[in-house]
Structure 1
């Protein structure tokens, strides 16, 4: 009777391996090891870093631990990378907030100065500890000392100064794109920013409807807050101009002739006089010759003083200015 014995299966080289442990094992280099053959080899790379093991070293390791592997070659190469977790500005900003309860829960922006992100182990529950946190509430500047939870033995990396400034943020309308001077703003040109951290030197807007139809007095950059110094009212309808008054409702469309009682810009509301009913109506300026009256909007009777003012405006010479701040 002939007894057949199983032929051990040859191991295969792992050309690229990602580990989470601090230690490199034989199984990180070779797959299909025999039972009980795996063992630790030495320290692994730092979190986020890699090491390469060349063919000569692989042959020596395989020989020392009795690993029979396929395609043995001095030109073989294995790369071992240790997984890591990136600690970025968002992480440290939240850490600063946790260490400064006096900031409160209001909207603030925490900006770090000369910051460089670094990588820590993925299983490190408390990778950084802040100490000596100081904050000048008047200027907004803060300083702190950051210590690694797991020191790496390098004094230049195990602790460092964390500095920055804390700004109160604002909810404002900002430009959605860069725009040239003379642009008449529409709703698509702006967007809401709930945490705008830049300094506000002048009045800003918090509602897109407030800037629709205004004209830019100079070029602007995407992301800037929309300021009253950027815009001017675009006059389409001048006081005394003839105008068509339009009223539209489901199944109904009425028009009447009138005259403007005041200047009005695009999408703004202006008072007009209905020349047939002599009622003063408020409508939205659609163009230089049309005002749209919304359903439910009522009129008020005109008085003799208003009529005289309208007549004087109609007889006045045309003006050269086309816009009003």
Structure 2
């Protein structure tokens, strides 16, 4: 009984040892080819092409296509390269692997910003004041996705009077640099207030009477107004036409008192409040001093325009008795 037990024990040990040997000798799982690969460097690795490449994932096997370009790699070539590198691979039904080189798009907006900032520095103006007009459309260019500076300006010439420029740009496409030549015109612009409709003399400007437009600076005088707040509430000094830009000489404070028109004269001090009708002898805006004729007494009195059609005789400008006489007699 003991001998039989020992034999069974030895047999079990041999079976376990054999199983362990078989497990140790079992090959690692084979790598599987992907139908699509996206790469970001100049070289395609086994890890880019195969799932399960393991320690051989970083092994380079092919050169990458240019940035932004899709390449077609025959599956047979990918499998052969893997086997040559010692990577076990599974058979595949894939015929072609699509290899895409990721990139950063350098578009016209990016080029415009780059050129505008450089031209502004040459002309000593604010970059935001320049409009850049290229001679021809600049199509998007794909730069290397890993580039710190996808595009750089390497040469620039600018004509100060006309704003004409020529620029040479370098685009980092990976293993090499692509040169792009662009030309055009840089135009300095300003914002100005423009009338949307005709205004008669002395007509007050409202917010909906104006718009702000961006125009070439060289077409405008230095006095052109740019802020709507500097215009709204003022009156036209002369007749103005829709489409006109505005300058300080075109506007004035609105006239609340007009020469020859009837106004109300007002005078107040402790214990005395007087008012009378009179005729203004001059135009007057808010806060201005005008002379008014009391048509009943035929006397004149000076006062300050305080409201539409109201002139207030200020304390100190008239002796109380004189002011009372001028308003009441």
* TM-score, normalising length: structure 1: 0.54
Displacement of 1:204 in angstroms is: 0.8
Displacement of 1:35 in angstroms is: 1.7
Displacement of 1:237 in angstroms is: 3.9
What is the aligned counterpart of 2:283 among 243, 258, 262?
Answer: 262
- Over 3 Å counting, the alpha-carbon distance change for 1:282 and 1:37 in structure 2 is same
Q: Secondary structure at the match of 1:8?
A: coil
Distance 1:269 1:28 in 2: 81
Query: In the alignment, what sits opposite 2:62?
Result: 42
Note if 1:280 corresponds to 2:300: no
Displacement of 1:46 in angstroms is: 3.3
- Over 3 Å counting, the alpha-carbon distance change for 1:228 and 1:162 in structure 2 is same
Query: In the alignment, what sits opposite 1:141?
Result: 163
**Counterpart mapping for 1:128-277 below 5 A:** 128-131=152-155, 133-137=156-160, 139-148=161-170, 158-165=179-186, 167=188, 172-174=191-193, 179=196, 184-186=205-207, 197-202=216-221, 203-213=223-233, 217-219=240-242, 226-228=245-247, 237-239=256-258, 240-242=261-263, 261-262=282-283
Aligned residues: 264
Note if 1:111 corresponds to 2:135: no
Displacement of 1:90 in angstroms is: 0.8
Q: 1:281 touches 1:299 (CA, 8 Å); kept in 2?
A: no
Q: 1:237 touches 1:289 (CA, 8 Å); kept in 2?
A: yes
- Over 3 Å counting, the alpha-carbon distance change for 1:234 and 1:274 in structure 2 is closer
Note if 1:301 corresponds to 2:301: no
- Over 3 Å counting, the alpha-carbon distance change for 1:13 and 1:209 in structure 2 is same
What is the aligned counterpart of 2:82 among 65, 76, 85?
Answer: 65
- Over 3 Å counting, the alpha-carbon distance change for 1:186 and 1:129 in structure 2 is closer
Q: 2:47 touches 2:56 (CA, 8 Å); kept in 1?
A: no
- Higher relative helix content: 2
Distance 1:212 1:76 in 2: 70
Displacement of 1:145 in angstroms is: 4.8
Q: Secondary structure at the match of 1:158?
A: strand
Distance 1:28 1:257 in 2: 97
Query: In the alignment, what sits opposite 1:123?
Result: 147
Superposed CA deviations along residues 167-194 of structure 1, whole A, max 9, x for unmatched, are 3x65x5446xx9555694339966798x
What is the aligned counterpart of 1:33 among 43, 53, 75?
Answer: 53
Q: Secondary structure at the match of 2:225?
A: coil
* TM-score, normalising length: structure 2: 0.54
- Over 3 Å counting, the alpha-carbon distance change for 1:152 and 1:6 in structure 2 is closer
Q: Larger Rg: 1 or 2?
A: 2
Query: In the alignment, what sits opposite 2:103?
Result: 83
Query: In the alignment, what sits opposite 2:116?
Result: 93
* Structure 1 runs not aligned, ≥5 long: 246-253, 308-325
Greater alpha carbon shift after TM alignment, 184-193 vs 104-113? 184-193
Distance 1:187 1:290 in 2: 28
